[in-house]
Structure 1
Amino acid sequence: MEGKEEDVRLGANRFAEKQPLGTAAQSQDKDYIEPPSAPLFESGELCSWSFYRAGIAEFMATFLFLYITVLTVMGVAKSDSKCSTVGIQGIAWAFGGMIFALVYCTAGISGGHINPAVTFGLLLARKLSLTRAVFYMVMQCLGAICGAGVVKGFQKSQYEILGGGANFVAHGYTKGSGLGAEIVGTFVLVYTVFSATDAKRSARDSHVPILAPLPIGFAVFLVHLATIPITGTGINPARSLGAAIIFNKDRGWDDHWIFWVGPFIGAALAALYHQVVIRAIPFKK
């Protein structure tokens, strides 16, 4: 019996490096070191394969994102009856679900941005260098253009008739309403990204990094539910640019500036809020 009791005691403490989750983890004191800010320019990245690998991951993720989501939008737009398609809720689920899946797939390679506004917000918070941020944005835009282009290649005539998934301010709403919707929607998304990936929470609650793609995708879903009737929901300049370029009609470029200015302002506000509130919370009680 003594030997068995010893085995049980050792077994219970065998994996001492494992930390408790949730509130149990909050009650323990842990060492926490604030990660250093990324340099503004880092020329050494240009000689690293991981830098280009991350860019390729951003390109592929944004390509798949546009491919699935614009196809979903086209399926709803060509239906005479909302009951025969997934409807607005389905469009929102397509956008949110794809972000959830793609962030999960690419987070370990590039960080899973898939959105120039997210990249811009993280740049302002000094989470990545300007070199990497510009490269990410270029690859995201190229991926979005290619993704929308493949959708148009499948159904060219229907794509042009149904609007190509391009973003524009809906009839009955002002440009100010559209801009405000994009600012607040992007703030919700980028704020969620900062909260879900905060290093302090990662150190305190070990389950947070694992669950990070879920709240990010869910935030995208909720924002789409709220703002699809207003702007079609941009909150992602690459998504709006890709659809506008491939659609290539006056309607696709109407008020296009809103879908760059709005998300960038929203991302900047979220980065400011992160610096003032989230990082200001002391880790140890």
Structure 2
Amino acid sequence: MQIRAVVSEFLGTLLLVFFAVGSAVLGAEYIGTLGIALAFGFTLLALAYTLGPISGCHVNPAVTLGMLCARRIDVRTAVTYWVAQFLGGIVGAALLFLLAKQVPGLKTSGAFGSNGYDDRSAVGINLGGAFLAEVVLTFLLVFVVLGVTHRVAVTGFDGLPIGIALAVIHLVGIPLTGTSVNPARSLGPALFAGGAALSQLWLFIVAPLVGGVIAALVHRVTHPAGEERVIADQASAA
């Protein structure tokens, strides 16, 4: 495994947290839910084209787990990516926290772009509903990633549907849980939000991973490995 792939996963996750979560922490009252959703989608889209050829631009432990279950990567690569992603999420949140501290009157405790349910959900969704929502939302993201990438790397127009999917996921998920679908994205902000954000963090680590596994299993049914090879051969011939 090349060190630049690991660095790419660290940097990509850092940038996703800083800019996308930053849109919620610093600009929610100005850009609203739609703006935050687009910030997540556009950030991932830009990263997919920038880092995709290097590491595949997973920047998400659930995506990496889906790739592992789909046999696109080996266990060693997956574990290394997970470490890089979680560290990237923490550093990205730390930088965002330092920036937020420079804004007079901006509250950084309690919410800080973290995820939640019950009284920490805009619509008051309960634990079971939050778990189901995160599983289904993550399923869509990982299923799209697996469906448009027949190799580990993101190439061509593969990044476009991935970015669009993440934006749509946030449009649905922000009122429910704040939208995680990414354990690394959830861990960093929760560490700085503290309190209930940390006590509820387990759900936003477990549920996305479950969604990623289910997506990989379904993908093996809808996109058999033999069929993917035929499609790739046809594309090469064209």
Q: TM-score, normalised by structure 1?
A: 0.73
User: 2:59 is paired with a residue of what secondary structure?
Assistant: coil
User: 2:201 is paired with a residue of what secondary structure?
Assistant: coil
In the alignment, what sits opposite 1:185?
Answer: 137
> Does 2:96 correspond to 1:160?
no
Q: d(CA) in 1 for partners of 2:127 and 2:226? A: 37
Measured after TM superposition, the shift of residue 159 of structure 1 is 4.4
Q: d(CA) in 1 for partners of 2:106 and 2:56? A: 35
On the 8 A contact 1:186/1:267 being kept in 2, the answer is yes
In the alignment, what sits opposite 2:158?
Answer: 212
Offset from partner CA, 1:151-174 (integer Å, 9 cap, x none):
111122624257211111115211
In the alignment, what sits opposite 1:66?
Answer: 17
Q: d(CA) in 1 for partners of 2:14 and 2:64? A: 17
2:92 to 119, 134, 147: 147
The Cα RMSD (Å) is 2.0
The answer for unaligned runs of 5 or more in structure 1 is 1-44, 80-84, 200-207
Aligned residues: percent identity? 39
In the alignment, what sits opposite 1:8?
Answer: none
On the 8 A contact 2:52/2:155 being kept in 1, the answer is no
1:126 to 56, 71, 77: 71
In the alignment, what sits opposite 1:245?
Answer: 191
* Equivalent residue letter for 2:18: Y
> Does 2:213 correspond to 1:265?
no
* Equivalent residue letter for 2:168: L
Offset from partner CA, 1:38-68 (integer Å, 9 cap, x none):
xxxxxxx4xxxx1x11100111111111111
Measured after TM superposition, the shift of residue 251 of structure 1 is 2.1
Question: Which residues in structure 2 correspond to 1:27-176 (within 5 Å)?
Answer: 45=1, 50=2, 52-77=3-28, 79=29, 85-156=30-101, 158-161=106-109, 163-169=111-117, 170=121, 172-176=124-128
* Equivalent residue letter for 1:107: G
Q: d(CA) in 2 for partners of 1:130 and 1:159? A: 40
Measured after TM superposition, the shift of residue 71 of structure 1 is 1.8
Q: d(CA) in 2 for partners of 1:71 and 1:267? A: 25
User: 2:106 is paired with a residue of what secondary structure?
Assistant: helix
In the alignment, what sits opposite 1:226?
Answer: 172
Structure 1 residue ranges (4+ consecutive) displaced by more than 3 angstroms after TM superposition: 280-285
Q: TM-score, normalised by structure 2?
A: 0.87
The answer for unaligned runs of 5 or more in structure 2 is none
Measured after TM superposition, the shift of residue 280 of structure 1 is 6.1
* Equivalent residue letter for 1:113: H
Q: d(CA) in 1 for partners of 2:202 and 2:34? A: 26
Q: d(CA) in 2 for partners of 1:212 and 1:190? A: 13
* Equivalent residue letter for 2:141: L
User: 1:109 is paired with a residue of what secondary structure?
Assistant: helix
> Does 2:150 correspond to 1:198?
yes
Measured after TM superposition, the shift of residue 275 of structure 1 is 1.1
Offset from partner CA, 1:130-185 (integer Å, 9 cap, x none):
11101101111111111111111112262425721111111521101100110000
**Which of the two has higher C-alpha Rg?**
1
Equivalences, count: 222
